Amino acid sequence: MVIADYFKSIELQLSNSKLIADKTIDLKEFSSSEGMVTGRLLFLGGYSLNFMEYILIGKQRPKYRFNLSDSKGKLIFRYDNAPHHIEISTYPHHKHIGKQVKSSEQIGLAEVISEIEIMILTEPNSK
């Protein structure tokens, strides 16, 4: 896989989602195996995902952050791999939920979008 293929897979997922109301996305290709995706996705229900993902194909993601907020701007969760002062078994990968910091494997945009879609579809008010 090359970075252009990764970008195409993200664009396809975004265009196929029935839960994304609006999107702003910037794809930067630095080489055939290196790139960055940044942007903001607005989901039904007013959820907003601000994100940055730096990708090296075939290697660990050097840097990422995915911040999901509700319609009032309250943080629901944040995934990132920034160094943290708390010992985490999956260092540096972790997830913030409220004031808690939890272990998390490395995660990418596609997985975060899927998690948000499941969250929206399983909410009591979504049925």
- List, for residues 55-109, the tens digit of each pLDDT value: 999 888 899 999 999 999 999 999 999 887 778 888 888 999 988 889 899 999 9
Measured CA to CA, the distance from residue 64 to residue 108 in angstroms comes to 8
Q: What is the mean pLDDT of the chain?
A: 92
CA distance 95 to 107: 10
* Residue pair 49/68 in contact by the 8 Å Cβ criterion: yes
